[in-house]
Amino acid sequence: MEAVSDLNWFALRVSPNYEFMVRGILRRRGLICHVKTEKRQRRKTFKDKTRAEVSFPISGYCFIGLKPTDPTPWDLRHCYHLIKSVVSVNGRPAMLDAERLKSFLGYDDFHAPEHFKYLRTRAEQFQIGDVLKIARPAFEELNLPLIEMREGECIFHLTLFGKLTELRADPQDCYRAA
């Protein structure tokens, strides 16, 4: 596993309001991709009196991390119309300072739980039968065995209300149970 600061980070300019879609596409291709979000208080509806905290992406940018030995994926911008360009200086992709980007994205490698200290790379893969946890609040208490990997997603079987239900999760949201 690679630490956040061991990767070469680059910024992609993407279509506004499609940052999370681009992040999902790149993660399915095995790349480490993050979107900076900021939390704001918003009403759910115009007439609603209560406010909820909502995360909004910083418009138009995704950040990808590459190992120094990885081939550069700049041809992806020709494959997907949502990726406009790579942020460049004098026609060459501009590498971002890992420590400044880490503080900008809000990462804290030193005080984070062990399973969040490192971002997964393409080399680390789960095997069928591995017991995993899903990093989502609804599933944080569950240890689930991996049934299969299909279309870039982890497939689990979960019993809800006495009925066997298929649960799909992005591998970036899964980690091995301790």
CATH number at residue 42: 3.30.70.940
Residue 4 CA, distance from chain mean position = 13
Please indicate, yes or no, whether residues 34 and 104 belong to a single structural domain of this protein.
yes
- Co-location of 150 and 73 in the same domain: no
Report the share of the chain in percent with pLDDT over 70: 73
Residue 67 exposure: Cα atoms within 13 Å on the Cβ side: 12
Joined together, the tokens standing for residue 62 give 């995704």
**H/E element holding 12?**
strand 8-14
Q: Which residue has the higher pLDDT, 23 or 127?
A: 23
Q: Which backbone phi and psi does 122 adopt, to 5 degrees?
A: -65, -25
Average pLDDT, the chain: 76
DSSP string for 79-99: H-TTEEEE-EETTEEPPBPHH
Between CA 65 and CA 68 the distance in angstroms is 9
In this structure, the answer to whether residues 27 and 108 fall within a common structural domain is yes
- What does the alpha-carbon distance between residue 34 and residue 57 come to, in Å, rounded to a whole number? 10
pLDDT of residue 86: 85
117 vs 144, residue with greater confidence: 144
**Confidence at residue 59, expressed as pLDDT on a 0 to 100 scale:** 78
Does position 31 have pLDDT exceeding 70, yes or no? yes
Is 138 a domain residue? yes
Q: Is residue 125 part of a domain?
A: no
Q: Are residues 114 and 135 in the same domain?
A: no
Amino acid at 15: S
Residues 112 and 142 in one domain: no
pLDDT score for 119: 45
DSSP category for residue 22: H
Question: Are 75 and 143 in the same domain?
Answer: no
Q: Are residues 109 and 35 in the same domain?
A: yes
pLDDT recorded at residue 135: 78
Domain hosting 17: range is 2-119
